Chains A and B, each alone.
Chain A
Amino acid sequence: MAFKRSREADKGLQLVSLIDLIFILLIFFIITSVLIKLSLGESKLYIPTPKNEPGDAQILVQIISEDSLLWLDHTAIDTLNLYTYRLKRPVPAEIKRNILLDKMIVDRKGLIDKIGALKELAGTEREKDYFVIIRCPDHFPYHYATSIVERLLDVPNLEYGCVSGSIHDFNDKSGFKIAGNTLQIDFY
């Protein structure tokens, strides 16, 4: 019986091609890793220069933690009036503070909704200027504040300012005086 003789030469490893491929793979992964680092590792956020001056603001956002914020807008006066009217007696600052801390705190999702509503309002009332003050404790990571600033953009009549300060500045000495449509808070 005749057997077909196999060719021994075909069984050898193509070493040159193998090295070639390995080098190409190596270069490929080096380049992709560098590109990924460049594109994903660092990002740039363009923000308008803030107006960091003391003054009146329509909205005050106090950062309490990464997921907890105090949002004070015109509804804060309504809330205070509602609850203090029920008490039917002069209300000390401590109680006003507790009412605000109880009713006006929002999480990140709530903040997004509030900002969305504010932008819509500012977009419709273009003749009116809106000013938002963001208060953040000094030791907190700055991205807590810039993530809020990022969401406030796109509306020309909406300005913002950043100031240092913690929730502990809302204390008994703060007063929480209501004068007409204005809520005056003194920080010490």
Chain B
Amino acid sequence: MAFRKTENHRILELTSLIDIVFLLLIFFLVSFAFSLGGDVSDSQLSAEIKLPETETRLTPIKSDILRNLMFQIVPDTLDGRYTRRVYVLLPAVGDSGVVSRRRALGIAHRDSMFATFETDFFLLDDASFSKLAAAELISTSIARYVKNAIRVSNSKHPMIEVRAESQTEFKIINFIMTQCSKYKEVVPQIAIRMTP
């Protein structure tokens, strides 16, 4: 009896292989990104992590969750002329959960927690500059934040963050730093988030 010899199909299925390799790659990339981004589960939030007093080098942003008072400075125009606008972004208080920076920005916009600097604000002397609505918003926000520091932040020393383009005028950043220096004992550290 004659038997037909079966063909040996041992050729590697390249398409399926690439398919699986890419799937695995994406899975590990995404899971790695989540582990960097910080979990927002209750167990993580309630954990007490002792952070170092100061970090001294530029570090990449790992999470978009807002944990401190933040001033976000963005370009703006006033009467067709170039200027800057400052938003006051507040972190979530107590048990009200967590808030992302984007969400806090939306809340600041909704609640009118922003102000625009006058054009050529950098030509003003310090006294005139501090009387601008935007400067007063910054100083009152810092004062209020420091006053409620214990309730607002879980950490012993709350931090103040500034998020601004690298080209933002020194006048604004220095004003914020000067306001913070008044409360150096309570706010020993400032975080500057520099955007391109």
- The answer to whether B170 touches A138 (Cβ under 8 A) is yes
- The answer to whether B54 touches A31 (Cβ under 8 A) is no
Complex contacts, A137 vs chain B, CB 8 Å: 170
Minimum CB–CB distance from B195 to chain A (whole Å) comes to 5
Q: Is A168's beta carbon under 8 Å from chain B?
A: no
Minimum CB–CB distance from A11 to chain B (whole Å) comes to 15
**Residues of A22-48 contacting chain B, CB below 8 A:** 24-25, 27-28, 31-32, 35, 38-48
- The answer to whether A43 touches B193 (Cβ under 8 A) is yes
**Residues of B174-196 contacting chain A, CB below 8 A:** 174, 177-178, 180-181, 183-184, 187-196
- The answer to whether B23 touches A24 (Cβ under 8 A) is yes
Interface size bracket, B side: 35 or more
Complex contacts, A185 vs chain B, CB 8 Å: none
B12-20, B91-99, B108-116, B131-139 - interface stretch: B12-20
17 contacts between A and B (CB under 8 A): A24-B22, A28-B29, A31-B29, A31-B33, A42-B193, A45-B194, A49-B181, A49-B183, A50-B177, A136-B174, A138-B122, A138-B171, A138-B174, A139-B123, A139-B171, A142-B170, A162-B177
- The answer to whether B169 touches A139 (Cβ under 8 A) is yes
Q: Is B166's beta carbon under 8 Å from chain A?
A: yes
In the complex, per-residue mask of A158-182: 1 if CB is within 8 Å of any chain B CB, else 0: 0001111000000000000000000
Minimum CB–CB distance from B91 to chain A (whole Å) comes to 15
Residue positions of A touching B, CB distance < 8 A: 14, 17, 20-21, 24-25, 27-28, 31-32, 35, 38-53, 136-146, 150, 153-154, 161-164
CB within 8 A of A143: which of B15, B16, B61, B166? B166
Q: Given that A42-B61, A49-B184, A139-B169 are known contacts, is A27 also in contact with B193, CB under 8 Å in the complex? A: no
Minimum CB–CB distance from A18 to chain B (whole Å) comes to 8
B184 and chain A: residue at smallest CB distance: A49
Q: Is B126's beta carbon under 8 Å from chain A?
A: yes
Q: Is B43's beta carbon under 8 Å from chain A?
A: no
Residue positions of B touching A, CB distance < 8 A: 15-16, 18-19, 22-23, 25-26, 29-30, 33, 54-61, 122-123, 126, 161, 163-164, 166-174, 177-178, 180-181, 183-184, 187-196
- The answer to whether A41 touches B196 (Cβ under 8 A) is yes
CB within 8 A of B59: which of A43, A136, A146? A43
- The answer to whether A142 touches B164 (Cβ under 8 A) is yes
Complex contacts, A51 vs chain B, CB 8 Å: 181, 184
- The answer to whether A144 touches B170 (Cβ under 8 A) is yes
Complex contacts, B170 vs chain A, CB 8 Å: 136-142, 144-145, 162, 164
- The answer to whether A153 touches B54 (Cβ under 8 A) is yes
Complex contacts, B189 vs chain A, CB 8 Å: 46-49
- The answer to whether B56 touches A52 (Cβ under 8 A) is no
A17-B19, A21-B22, A150-B56 given. 15 additional CB < 8 A pairs? A17-B15, A20-B19, A28-B25, A28-B29, A32-B29, A42-B194, A43-B58, A45-B59, A46-B189, A47-B54, A47-B189, A47-B192, A50-B177, A53-B181, A146-B192
- The answer to whether A24 touches B19 (Cβ under 8 A) is yes
Cα distance, A14 to B19, chains bound together (Å): 13
Q: Given that A31-B29, A41-B195, A48-B188 are known contacts, is A141 also in contact with B177, CB under 8 Å in the complex? A: no
Q: Given that A42-B193, A162-B177 are known contacts, is A31 also in contact with B171, CB under 8 Å in the complex? A: no
Complex contacts, A27 vs chain B, CB 8 Å: 26
- The answer to whether B194 touches A48 (Cβ under 8 A) is no
